[in-house]
Amino acid sequence: MLSPETANEIDLDVRFVTSFDVASLALLVFDYFLTLDLEVALIWPSGWSLVKVIFLINRYMPFIDVPLALYHQLYRPQSESSCRSLYISTAWMFILGIGLTEFVLVYRTWALYDNSKPLGVALLIYFLAFWIAICYGLSRFLDSLRFLIDPNFPLPGCIIIDASDHLAFDWILLMVFESGILLLMLNKAYRMYLTSRSTTIFRTVYRDGIMYYVYIYILSLVNLIYIRTQSRALVVVLASLQRVVHSVLTTRLILGLRQEIVDYQRSPRQTPPFSLDDGAILMQELPRSRNNPNIPPPSRVSAVES
């Protein structure tokens, strides 16, 4: 039996988590409609490719896993095992989605270094090492979860009352991982800034990419602070927001890059600061003018790419 003080504290924590989940879902839907016109123009008419598949998974998977996270807060559990099953399915969908967004940024960083083979091997090892460790930490965290199962408690939801510190470990790993990629981007950005500071594509590729990592890093830091300083019921309070922000920023980066490449293709007198081949900055198989009159014809595209 919970004391009145403990019950009141848990009640406030649950409402707080639910509010963040609702706000995260609202942000996801709001940004979706803000960028839908660009997706229709730049993604839908293009041929199928790895980039398009990754984009669509990154774009639409949050519409499954974020509502599922909200369902945690509305579901009236009958047992700890039912809550654990919900958390396991949602957590692994979250980690898959965030991992895909990080893969996009790693691949994009590699492309900015002209697809250097030594760097590519190093980045692959770097990516796998960190994400294997993150998956291990998540597995240990999920195994440690304990939930409040009390039919007399006034609020529904799978309420965490105890958990290990492995989730904090995961956020630390993610911050270290992102710091390494950010340093690579800053190094390349400084070199390119000396010769390409006036180009809009420089701003899109480097400024936006760097700011992406700054936003994610700050959010990860706040998440870590919450995990270490607040009650166990708040251990996942920013998880949905982090998931949505990863998806939204990656979507905007890919759409912004495609739009900038289209602008360069429409103005072939300009010389991009790096190659626009299929491997560069995730710009494979742009839609043609037959499908969209705002896109230049294939002859102009090939002229730029050559």
Signed CA dihedral, 185, 188, 190, 196: sign only: negative
Structural domain span for residue 116: 4-301
Residue 199: predicted pLDDT: 58
In a domain, 77, yes or no: yes
Query: Is there a domain that residue 242 lies in?
Result: yes
167-183 pLDDT per residue, tens: 989 999 999 998 898 88
Q: What CATH number is attached to the domain comprising 256?
A: 1.20.1070
64 within domain boundaries: yes
DSSP run (H or E) holding 147: strand 146-147
263 close to 304: Cβ distance less than 8 angstroms = no
What's the total number of domains in the chain?
A: 1
Q: Give the number of residues written for the chain.
A: 306
Alpha carbons 111 and 250: distance in angstroms, whole number: 16
* 24 Cα distance to chain centroid: 13
How much is the pLDDT for 197? 54
**What type of residue sits at position 299?**
S
Angstrom distance (rounded) from CA 91 to CA 142: 8
- Say if CB 165 and CB 205 are below 8 A apart: no
Q: Which of 204, 220, 213, 221 is nearest to 184 (CA)?
A: 213
pLDDT at site 192: 73
Q: b/e for 234-249, b at 16 or more Cβ within 10 A?
A: bbbbbbbbbbbbbbbb
Return the percentage of the chain with pLDDT > 70, whole number: 80
- Pick out the chain residues at pLDDT < 70: 1-3, 195-205, 264-265, 267-306
pLDDT tens digit sequence for 198-221: 555 566 667 777 788 888 888 888
Residue 306: inside a domain: no
